[in-house]
Structure 1
Amino acid sequence: MSTLAYDGGAMVGRQLRRLRNNPGLLVLTQTMPITMLLFFGYVFGSALAMPGEQYRSFLVPGLLVATAANGIMTGMFQAAQDTHRGVMERLRTLPMSRAAVPLGQAAADLVVTAAGTVPFLLVGLAVGWRIEGSALAAVGAVGLLLLFRFATTWIGIFLGLLTRNEEAAGQLGGATFVLPLLSNAYIPTDGLPDWLRTLAEWNPISAVTTALRDLFGNAPVPDDAAWPVAHPVAGSLAWCAALIAVFAPLAVRRYARGER
């Protein structure tokens, strides 16, 4: 365990230095959610029945979770890039824990996400979003958000190791943009057709978004929703635990196997 912690810490440092040497990518990933908040908040807010400020309060948790779901895309691209360029092969020759490399990537992504959440929340406060619940519940909401990001990053790492190609990972990662659209991140699901509403409410993004809205005090939990949305905190924890339990071992085994 101590070897894994030491090696994993070294890999976290490597990933953070990698981002420092590519500031353009870092700026883009940190400013895109803010841009979407301003665009969706003022454009969609004028088209929905909710008043603008009320919709922006509804939207902020949804965009937080949609951004966390992008861990699939970033994890996939970074893992595929390292594999395609032979970095993974060089790392495998080192006397280190096989779990350290994917774990270091996931942990470094978590650090960057936590730092990027702060300016997003400040902009949210500026456009009218408020924390209506308790401070403890708000801390729980942020913790749940980061746990979901950690879970989705493992999905991306596994897929990136599986594709082994930067271009393929980029194209596949772009397809993940549709996932928040099939959820309650941007709009309420009660006006959707029954089959589409069921699909949206069993989307993990919907459960985590509802949990954040409830913990922040921004919107009540729907009474007639599917189980993950009707019990959003329990549903979110169940989804995160399931995703990590499935994809973390798969990613570690895939890294250890290499091209075999």
Structure 2
Amino acid sequence: MSMVSDSLVIARRNLIRMTRIPEMVLFGVIQPVMFVVLFTYVFGGSMSVGGSTDPDVYKNFLMAGIFAQTVTFATAGSAAGIADDMQKGLVDRFRSLPMARGAVLTGRTVADLVQTCITLTVLAIVALIVGWRTGSAEPTDAGRVLGAFGLLLLLGYAFTWIGALIGLSVRTPEAATSGGIIWLFPVTFISNAFVDASQMTPWLRHIAEWNPFSATVQACRELFGNPGVVDSGAWPMQHPVWASLIWSVLIVAVFRTLAVRKYRAADG
């Protein structure tokens, strides 16, 4: 209970800081909105999904990938924020207090999750405006749609722990920003987020199908009732919801352990 209480205090501190620097939220929203507009209207007519080049089909295929990309790109903000706190000596002040050591990192990731939730809400509204609809390929319901957003937030939370580890491993916020985002490009683009993975070369398709990011994207398409390519023998593509849950929980378990250990080592 002490760990939970301390984590909530740190989370509150970061949320208050967020309200005092509103451009943090504003810029975090603008980027995914630009991706929605660019991919929908620039690439929509030239992409093939299941043999169809209908822009509306691609639009509904695309949105799950944009949502997933948005929650994972929050990793860079987590890494930069923790590195900034380390550089300014704020974390050293926390260490002098009688508080759980992991609370600093947990509070930071919870605050980032709240910001991600806000961004995802705005992005969903924009997606509806440009024509995205749930149930476009098969029937769905509100429970399944909320489940899809839950999987997205879980993936985003898992990736913020990777960002926390990066932020503790570098010396400056600038390095944390670069290190927090550079590895996300192959993770998000070697996936089924923006293109039909069956069109990739066999070895690249295999990587894409076992990518944790792809599992969440495929799960969201299934729960949203949007078009998605399912003619794959890979287990994550046949059982995407379970695969998404397993991958996200595994990432949290591994990277939270590594991040807290790194924090304690720095403390020593």
Into which bin does the TM-score normalised by the smaller protein fall? over 0.9
Q: CA deviation at 1:80?
A: 1.2
CA distance 1:221–1:232, change in 2 (3 Å): farther
Match of 1:239 in 2: 247
Contact 1:77 1:160 (C-alpha < 8 Å) held by counterparts = yes
Deviates more, 1:138-147 or 1:64-73: 64-73
1:209 partnered with 2:222? no
Give the TM-score, by structure 1 length.
0.95
- Point out the more displaced range, 138-147 or 208-217: 138-147
User: Which residues of 2 match residues 221-232 of structure 1 at below 5 A?
Assistant: 222-232=230-240
Residues 71 and 120 of structure 2 are in contact (CA less than 8 Å); yes or no, is this contact kept in structure 1?
A: no
1:24-43 paired onto structure 2 within 5 Å: 24-43=23-42
5+ residue gaps, structure 1, are: none
Alpha-carbon separation, structure 2, partners of 1:51 and 1:223: 20
Question: Which runs of structure 1 show a deviation greater than 6 angstroms over 4 or more consecutive aligned residues?
Answer: none
Q: TM-score, normalised by structure 2?
A: 0.92
| 8 Å contact from structure 2 (residues 63, 127) kept in 1 | yes
Q: Which moved more, 1:47-56 or 1:220-229?
A: 220-229
Q: CA distance change for structure 1 residues 248 and 230 in 2, over 3 Å: closer, same or farther?
A: same
User: Structure 2 stretches of 5 or more lacking a match?
Assistant: none
Give the secondary-structure state (helix, strand or coil) at the position aligned to 2:44: helix
Q: Are residues 1:111 and 2:111 paired? A: no
Task: Report the equivalent of 1:72.
Answer: 75
The amino acid across from 2:11 in the alignment is: V
Contact persistence 2:191–2:211 (CA under 8 A):
yes
Q: CA deviation at 1:225?
A: 4.0
SS, match of residue 198 in structure 2: coil
Amino acid at match of 1:137: R
Q: CA RMSD in A?
A: 1.4
- CA distance in structure 2 between the partners assigned to 1:173 and 1:151 by the alignment: 14
The 3 A distance-change label for structure 1 pair 221 and 178 is: closer
Would you say the 8 A contact 1:131–1:216 is kept in 2? yes
Kindly state the Cα deviation for residue 220 of structure 1 after the two structures are TM-superposed: 4.2
Q: Does 1:55 align with 2:40?
A: no
How many residues align? The count is 259
Aligned residue for 1:70, secondary structure, equals helix
